[in-house]
Structure 1
Amino acid sequence: MNEYFLDRGQPSMSYNLYLFVLLMAATCCSLSMTYLSWKRRNLPIAISYGLGMLVSSFYSFGYAFEIISTTLEHIRFWLHIEYVGIVFGPVLWFIMVLQYTGHEAWVRTRTVVLLLVVAVLTLAIQYTNEWHHLFYKSMTINHSEGFPLVTLNKGPLYSVHVIFSYLLFVIGMGLMIQMFRAAAPHMKKQIALMIVGSWGPFGFTLVYLSGVFYMPIDLSPFGFVFSGVFYLWGIYQFNLLRLAPLALQKVFESMQDAVIVFDLENSLISYNRSAARVIGGLNNKSIGCSASQVFSRHPLLMDKMLQEPSSASKVQLSDPEDDRFYNVQLTFVSNNNNRPVGKMLLLTDVTDTVRVEEKLLENARQLSELNTFKDRMFSVVAHDIRDPIAVLVNLMELLEEELQSGGEDHEEIVNEMAQQVQNTFALVEGLLDWFRSQTGGMISEPVVRDLAQIVQANLRMLLVRSGSKRIRMISEIRQDTFVYVDQAMLNLILRNLLSNAIKFTDYGGSVTLRAERMEHTMIISVSDTGEGMSAEQAESLLQDDYPVSLTGTAGERGIGLGLSLCREFVRLNGGELWFDSILAEGSTFYFSVPVLPQTTSVLSGSSMERGIRA
């Protein structure tokens, strides 16, 4: 302020009174806007805006009483009141602009405190000017215009204050102009109102300080009337006291879904916090960037942006650090006339739903496999039980024939029948126990077992079948040869391989079992002197889950599922199944099972070469 009008005389009172009324009107305008901001005090921008309007009312209110004051002391008092608005107004306006333009990251406690400290120091220097005269060198009264005026001779700290205030103004206007240029058409009007309204107090003061037009009084407070008109218009037309632009709305920010807004030219307008978490590199500097820049690391989203708006589609972002799934939906943003003014990309996290779907599909697959396994297992079990029962039937027939012939000693037949009954009972008990242990699916429960004893037990069960064809069953596996397997599965594997060997071996042939340890694995082989297989049969044997059963050398028939189950059981025990076969010379089937590292096995037999791997 340069000069202050001092009223002396009745004609001047009327003129001062008009100015007083206008300034009080400006004060009421500022206070009404403060009230509107208070009603929306839950929004950060409303707080800074409302405080700015409040301190501006100090400026206009103090100046209203200053121009009707009659003494220099009164003027000095009201000048102190005015400076509450003069020093704090630019700071609060600058904070409001940072929030409005999307630069909330700059509004940190440290920055706000620093700005307020500068304002407080300026106010303190102005209040104590009579002690140091660094703000005003002198304050004198003259009558050159025909009425009392106060001439202020400005000091160096006054210039510093003016430079600081207009530096904030230049930075703030630059941010709003940048925002205006990047904004969508429907946002430009409200931003323009903010720009024009902000020029009110700063523009009037700039004209007054420049001296371009001679004015005996300071018109800066009347700039608030000018600003008030534009701000009130913006409040009722565009609701500026909401978190404007839309990206700053509290609801928008708190959404769990990622929301990204573009204009029709695919330039980024706004986004929420969820979008910043999902899209790497998305920050305030991205505002105004093209969609291709924003989604440079997410080509799937870029493809979606180039398509017409459509229903949601499930995608997984090409980000190694993000293994989540999102439903992506592109929609138009329309104005009140239903005309498209932008695009909105909505990303909804559906990872939990996808995981549940995958789990259900996996459970369905496992259930289907278990159901198939059950059918195959029942057939194999029926086959295993049928053989000893068939032997019992044959023995009964022999017994009946000999009883009819009379008098012979039938002790041998009775003993054999008793042995077969015991074996069959043990087999059924073992199978039932194993089935009960598999209620949750096919589970291997390995234990340490003597392989030689298990082999001998299975050979005894097949003794009648092998004896009927005069086939020699030879085990070269020594005692104390230990393996770490599920015993029930191992029994089924051995019985199937031995049954097949007997089935395809001619009368008077032989079946030999061997075992060889290789590191932590025991390789068991079942060799026969049967008819062997051609190359075509060998190539397809273990590749088919449901092989066709072949007829044995004595017309034996099977169900054709034994080998596929053997392969599955070997796999569940951590091993492999493979074979060698030469047509007209015989076949050798191998399978491996684990051996505990600390287990010592004594093996016999020479090393064998592996054949075709399953």
Structure 2
Amino acid sequence: MNYNVYLSVLLIASTCCTLVMSYLSWKRREFPIAITYGLGMVAGAFYTFGYAFEIVSTNLEEIRFWLRIEYIGVPSGTFLWIIMVLQYTGHQSVLRKRNIALLLIVPVTTFVAHYTNEWHHLFYTNMTINNSAGFPLVSLVKGPLYLLHVTYAYTTFIVGMGLMFQMYRKATPRMKKQIALMMIGSCGPYGFTVVYLSNVLHMPIDLSPFGFVFSGVFYMWGIYQFNMLRLAPLALEKVFESMQDAVVVFDLDNAITSFNQSAVRVIDGLNNISAVGQPAAHVLALYPKLISKIQSEPSTENKAQLQSQNDDKFYNISMTFISNSSQKIVGKMLLLSDVTETVLNEERLLDNARQLSELNTFKDKMFNVVAHDIRDPLAVLVNLMELMEEEIQSSNENHDEIMHEMSQQIHNTFTLVESLLDWFRNQRGGMVFNPLVLDLSQAVQSNVRFLKVRSEGKQIQIKSDIPNSLFVYADKEMLDLIIRNLLSNAIKFTDFGGRIQLKAERVEGKMVVSVSDTGEGITSDHANTLLKEEYPVSSTGTAGERGVGLGLTLCREFVRLNGGEIWFDSTPSQGSTFYFSIPTPPKGSSYSIEQLERKGNP
């Protein structure tokens, strides 16, 4: 049996190896480099398969047929190899449509010229049978288009090897092994072709197809030992074990090798397939916490907040090593589990605990206020009642003065209890906030009427310059309490026959309301602490009115909850003006209490 039969069997075995590598590439077809590599292996399979039957053919017509099969793969193999090298070395940006079209010119010309050679003989000028080896072999005289094909092939080979050598020089030690296998494997077909064309060994057999046997050995070694081209599915099942979690896989040099769709939704920068093969520090530059986690040793879970494409989310981040069947570490896996709901629930619990703590502190202080402010008027009432009983028993004199004082004390005590009930009612279970679009003028007029008896009792004129249809966006009950308390204080500290004036002005998207009086004003010492004290001490009015010190505390709290501010100007003996701002109606939007609190006075 001639040795050409053994060589044919060897070439068919080589064809099977290249088809196996094509199958591995198909399994990772989500990556462009895997597709290119797989197609290159298919092109090599056409070459080796065609030559396996060419060397056992018995006549020139059979040889011509198998040469046509070979030349399906020969020109396309060179083209696909340079595309793969550009992808492998990180030069994907070169692969524009125009450049790809330019690279295809010579391969397409070679393919067409070979199939139409009998018309023009520019690829092979002559084809004859040579039986000197003991079996029929074709003897070819190459034409100019064949030389163009060879020139193109070795030009692209030199360029590709140069790019890989440049990559090798800059690579880490572990990556150098992968690149070295890539370079050695690529030398197979081209190196064997050089030996054949140079006729150094004087062999009648074309050695070029056997170069694929050589390449196949190194490529398979690289794929299974070093995950070369990232074709081996080392952690495929584990990566997509839970599609709800974002998973990113890295090699030991912290370069990205794979990721799932959840990771694309969570992490900006992974929405481009070119992220594969890129360093983590480059792709995840917007996420320093992730980079720190990747570069550190795998440890326990660490909670971190990431800015995803859509919303702010919370994730538990864990990093684990990936091992192969031999327990050799081959990479890392970053897992991000969405725990936003859990974190928000924790924050709500902490916020509730804080509010409960503040409420308890408030109640403790309120008991002190109640003990101090309610004890005195009740004690006076008790004394007055005892005195009146004694007076009534001892004489029949007129007790109008005592009765008036008792009436005043009872009224003050009622006002105290009413204020305390208002405060506690709004504190119980947290503030209930219901903002509405309200007519400011109507709110002012209703509260002026409510205080009419008190103002007329001191002959105080209240004038409102606020026009109708001036709208604000506030909680009705809170707005009424703010206006009522400011008017009540103005009446309290204004002398008989005085004046109170209300105005409103739109300033920077808010309505600023002012309440001015001609009263006794506020001293500088009192002014420095008036709106800063948590529980201010009540002052006596111009007609001896007594308060509880809670009015301005309520106003300050309710103005803040409505998204505004409160302040005042005062000149002793000339009067005071209290201002508060309130939002105007929003355009087609609504606000939650949390949003309003964030917009409020700090």
TM-score, structure 2 normalization: 0.66
Unaligned runs of at least 5 residues, structure 2 = 507-511, 585-601
Residue of structure 1 in register with 2:112 after alignment = 124
SS at match of 1:221: helix
**Greater gyration radius:** 1
Instruction: Report the Cα distance in structure 1 between the residues aligned to 2:513 and 2:465, rounded to whole angstroms.
Output: 13
Structure 2 counterpart of 1:576, from 558, 566, 574: 566
Query: For residues 385-411 of structure 1, what are the alpha-carbon distances to aligned partners after superposition, in whole Å with 9 as ceiling and x for unaligned?
Result: 99899989979997998799899999x
Q: Which amino acid aligns with 2:578?
A: F
Q: Residues 388-537 of structure 1 correspond to what in structure 2 (within 5 A)?
A: 435=425, 440-441=431-432, 446-447=438-439, 448-449=441-442, 451=444, 454-455=447-448, 457-458=450-451, 460=453, 473-478=458-463, 486-496=479-489, 498-499=491-492, 501=493, 510=496, 512-515=498-501, 517=503, 519-520=505-506, 521-528=512-519, 533=523, 535-537=524-526
Instruction: Report the Cα distance in structure 2 between the residues aligned to 1:84 and 1:312, rounded to whole angstroms.
Output: 54
Q: Which amino acid aligns with 2:568?
A: W
Instruction: Report the Cα distance in structure 2 between the residues aligned to 1:569 and 1:371, rounded to whole angstroms.
Output: 19
Instruction: Report the Cα distance in structure 2 between the residues aligned to 1:83 and 1:377, rounded to whole angstroms.
Output: 96
Q: Residues 261-300 of structure 1 correspond to what in structure 2 (within 5 A)?
A: 263=253, 269-270=255-256, 278=268
Asked if the contact 2:268–2:309 (Cα under 8 Å) also holds between the matched residues in 1, the reply is no
Q: Which amino acid aligns with 1:138?
A: N
Q: Which amino acid aligns with 1:168?
A: T
Q: Residues 249-328 of structure 1 correspond to what in structure 2 (within 5 A)?
A: 251=239, 256-257=246-247, 263=253, 269-270=255-256, 278=268
SS at match of 1:543: coil
Q: What is the identity percentage for the equivalent residue pairs of Structure 1 and Structure 2?
A: 45
Change (3 A) 1:399 1:317: same
Q: Residues 327-342 of structure 1 correspond to what in structure 2 (within 5 A)?
A: none
SS at match of 1:514: strand
Q: How many residues align?
A: 556
Query: For residues 12-63 of structure 1, what are the alpha-carbon distances to aligned partners after superposition, in whole Å with 9 as ceiling and x for unaligned?
Result: xx4xx21221232221232144145436622125554444444434433433
Cα offset, 1:205, TM superposition: 0.5
Query: For residues 508-564 of structure 1, what are the alpha-carbon distances to aligned partners after superposition, in whole Å with 9 as ceiling and x for unaligned?
Result: x7483421536455532345459x74x444423332223345688999876443332
Change (3 A) 1:235 1:567: closer
Cα offset, 1:204, TM superposition: 0.5
Unaligned runs of at least 5 residues, structure 1 = 1-13, 464-471, 503-508, 598-613
Structure 1 counterpart of 2:6, from 21, 25, 37: 21
SS at match of 1:474: coil
Q: Which amino acid aligns with 1:512?
A: G
Change (3 A) 1:357 1:210: farther
Let me know the Cα RMSD of the aligned residues. Answer: 6.2
Structure 2 counterpart of 1:84, from 66, 69, 72: 72
Asked if the contact 2:502–2:513 (Cα under 8 Å) also holds between the matched residues in 1, the reply is yes
Asked if the contact 1:97–1:176 (Cα under 8 Å) also holds between the matched residues in 2, the reply is yes
Instruction: Report the Cα distance in structure 2 between the residues aligned to 1:193 and 1:450, rounded to whole angstroms.
Output: 84
Q: Does 1:562 align with 2:554?
A: no
Structure 2 counterpart of 1:62, from 50, 53, 62: 50
Query: For residues 355-396 of structure 1, what are the alpha-carbon distances to aligned partners after superposition, in whole Å with 9 as ceiling and x for unaligned?
Result: 666666566666666777788889999979998999899799
User: Which deviates further from its counterpart, 239-248 or 35-44?
Assistant: 239-248
Residue of structure 2 in register with 1:607 after alignment = none
Instruction: Report the Cα distance in structure 1 between the residues aligned to 2:466 and 2:214, rounded to whole angstroms.
Output: 102
Q: Which amino acid aligns with 2:48?
A: S
User: Which deviates further from its counterpart, 188-197 or 436-445?
Assistant: 436-445
Q: Does 1:592 align with 2:579?
A: yes
Structure 1 counterpart of 2:209, from 221, 224, 232: 221
Residue of structure 2 in register with 1:540 after alignment = 529
Asked if the contact 1:173–1:195 (Cα under 8 Å) also holds between the matched residues in 2, the reply is yes
Cα offset, 1:155, TM superposition: 1.4
SS at match of 1:544: coil
Change (3 A) 1:494 1:295: same
Change (3 A) 1:442 1:227: closer
Greater RCO between the two (CA within 8 Å, min separation 6)? 1
Q: Which amino acid aligns with 1:229?
A: V
Change (3 A) 1:229 1:23: farther
Asked if the contact 2:123–2:146 (Cα under 8 Å) also holds between the matched residues in 1, the reply is yes
Q: Which amino acid aligns with 1:195?
A: M
